[in-house]
Chains A and B, each alone.
Chain A
Amino acid sequence: MKWIKRYGPYLVLYGVAFLWIIPILWMADTAFKPTRDIFSIPPKWIPSHFTTEHVERLFAEWPFARWLLNSLVVASFVTLGSLVVSVPAAFSFSRLRWRGRDAVFMFLLVFMLLPWQVNVIPLFFMMTKFRFLNTYQGVALPMIAMPIGVFLLRQFFINIPRDLEDAARIDGCSSLGVLLRVILPLSKPVLAAFGVYIFNYAWNEFFWSMICLRKPQMVTLPVGLKILQGAFEIDYGLILAGAFMASLPSLMVFLLLRRQIIRGFTLAGSGVKG
């Protein structure tokens, strides 16, 4: 009994965690075993020999590296753009007074409940008109003005003591000065949290990316994987090699920055409700 009480929780915790990552282990396993083993019945965990043929085929026959680059460009563009426009907006909504401010903010609040991806049809025709189809800016622009970012930052900015701002103003700071010299230095954790959140969001966006990006050279990783999967319904070696290679950047970044990423998402998840 005592033994169970002491080690039972460990058993459950590690057991559940292990079960939870079986799909990832199985993906890695499939990516590196010969096709014969992939389709063996019963499924075989230990391959008869280790092979990189699928990965080699992936890089030889598909612009996989280009997809990676596209994803990186789009996600960085969205993250940077989003920070640049959301920070002053959140500052304005939390610390500057102007007519109609709260009404506008309420309006934004409702828009947080409307997923913009549902608007792919009008967005598609807008981007056609702007000639933004198949371009980085075309995919990225609708993702930049995410209301959740303004909410998160505003919530944080509101709680910064007024006295600090007043002191800076007495010393001759303009509003921009207050933002750059007082608010931002105090907001590093929340800026990092929002950055992590939105980068991940843009890196993984699928619906709109698939509609906006139609040239195989221009697509991001999620769409590229869909192309792979659609082209060879049953070439699971190649498809899983693609999925594995596509998850590698996330995995490596996560292993390096686990603490920061988890803290970021925790803050992004709890900060919105204050």
Chain B
Amino acid sequence: MGLKGRGAIPAPFSKMRKRIGRFFYRHPGVEGFLFALPYMALWAVFLAWPVVYGIYISLFDWDPLRGSRFVGLANYLELFREPRFWNAVTNTFKFAGMAIPLILGLGLVFALMVWGWGRKRRGIVVVQASLFFPYLLTVSIVAIVWKWLLERDVGLFQHFLSSVLPSAPVFLTEPAWALPAIAIATAWWLAGYRMLVFQAGLEEIPVELFESAEIDGALPYHKLVHLILPLLKPSLLFALVLTTISAFRTFGQVLIMTEGGPGWASEVLALYLYRVGFDYFDIGKAAASGVVLLFLILVITLLGVRILGLKSELQ
């Protein structure tokens, strides 16, 4: 400010502005704080406070209409005694175990494919666009389309699979295959963004490294293991954290594709939380399972960060 149009401001205001300017000049710290304040206020109210408030609610038999009763850790104890809760925990881990490698693996293969073969080849942008586009769709669309593709008898994929392989599982109706089906749909949805992340990482690798590797007679496999993967580590770690968080909080796909079924075979923690809170109105318990889920995600990502040394990449 103060470069243009100074003369247009009436005298008292210009005096005030000068005074404000002098104040900030003498107290630079205040100014920095003020710049961050709007964001920090929103963040504190809508992101940080709910965590605290969630823990608070989880300690109550919560009933805002008739009055809540403090129950200490009773909600947690009740959770830990409930087989359905442990089923949801197991399913969450199973889903993460399937979805994370699938998403990252496909993303990496796509990135290598588009990056390695894409140079000097026509139409590569069409390929890249097709692989990426599903990421822009909302989870409801993805889940609806995949539910339809896997529909018993009439679903396109299910029909194709069953006619090629008569012993093929009926994905969404067999308990053991419901979660894998959701993981596949999720991979279709999310792999494209990981592809872009990896591609950006690949672009940063200096071409000379490949040239010298070639002169040394390195095979494609060696190049991948000894050159590409180590240099891609920052991108891989970033994608891993991103994918882990979204795998553990998976909700929409499960709700729409199977509603947690058959039985509870695909009920994950986020869906369990939703059910307990908004179908059974056991708010305290739902809040407690939210705290458990949040804690799980935090511990797992921090462990990942610790073990794989992501900290340096984030700063």
Give the number of residue pairs across the A-B interface with Cβ within 8 Å: 312
Decide if B219 is an interface residue (CB 8 Å cutoff): no
Q: Which residues of A contact B251 (CB under 8 A)?
A: 117, 206-207
On whether the beta carbons of B38 and A85 are closer than 8 Å, the reply is yes
By CB atoms of chain A within 10 A, which of B64, B141, B153, B245 has the most? B141
Residue of A22, A104, A125, A203 touching B57 (CB-CB under 8 A): A125
Task: Return the chain A residue nearest B305 by Cβ.
Answer: A113
Q: Which residues of B contact A204 (CB under 8 A)?
A: 136-139
Once bound together, how far apart are the Cα atoms of A119 and B238, in whole Å? Answer: 23
Q: Which residues of A contact B237 (CB under 8 A)?
A: 273
Once bound together, how far apart are the Cα atoms of A221 and B290, in whole Å? Answer: 26
Once bound together, how far apart are the Cα atoms of A51 and B24, in whole Å? Answer: 67
Main secondary structure of the interface of A (DSSP, over half): helix
On whether the beta carbons of A121 and B290 are closer than 8 Å, the reply is yes
On whether the beta carbons of B47 and A270 are closer than 8 Å, the reply is no
Contact A23:B154 (CB < 8 A) given known A88-B38, A144-B42? no
Decide if B73 is an interface residue (CB 8 Å cutoff): no
On whether the beta carbons of B149 and A26 are closer than 8 Å, the reply is yes
Contact with A along B211-243 (1 / 0, CB 8 A): 000000000000000000000001101110100
Contact A113:B39 (CB < 8 A) given known A229-B144, A240-B148? no
Which A residues from 90 to 146 make CB contacts under 8 A with B? 91-93, 96-99, 101, 104, 108-111, 113-126, 128, 141-142, 144-145
On whether the beta carbons of B141 and A243 are closer than 8 Å, the reply is yes
Contact with B along A167-200 (1 / 0, CB 8 A): 0000111111101110000000000000000001
| Range of interface residues on A (Cβ < 8 Å) | 35 or more
On whether the beta carbons of B117 and A88 are closer than 8 Å, the reply is no
Contact A42:B159 (CB < 8 A) given known A115-B249, A118-B249, A119-B294? yes
Question: How far in angstroms is the closest Cβ of chain A from B294?
Answer: 5
On whether the beta carbons of A174 and B36 are closer than 8 Å, the reply is no
Decide if B103 is an interface residue (CB 8 Å cutoff): no
Question: How far in angstroms is the closest Cβ of chain A from B138?
Answer: 4
Decide if A62 is an interface residue (CB 8 Å cutoff): no
Decide if A57 is an interface residue (CB 8 Å cutoff): no
Contact with A along B164-205 (1 / 0, CB 8 A): 000000000000000000000000100001001101110010
The interface-forming segment of B8-16, B79-87, B93-101, B123-131 is: B123-131
Q: Which residues of A contact B278 (CB under 8 A)?
A: 211
Q: Which residues of A contact B32 (CB under 8 A)?
A: 92, 96-98, 101, 175
12 further A-B contacts with Cβ under 8 Å, apart from A10-B121, A40-B154, are: A20-B188, A98-B33, A101-B36, A104-B40, A114-B298, A115-B248, A118-B273, A118-B293, A126-B49, A147-B47, A150-B39, A222-B252
| Pairs A–B under 8 Å by Cβ, sample size 12 | A17-B127, A17-B131, A26-B148, A26-B149, A120-B290, A121-B273, A121-B277, A126-B53, A204-B138, A222-B252, A254-B129, A274-B313
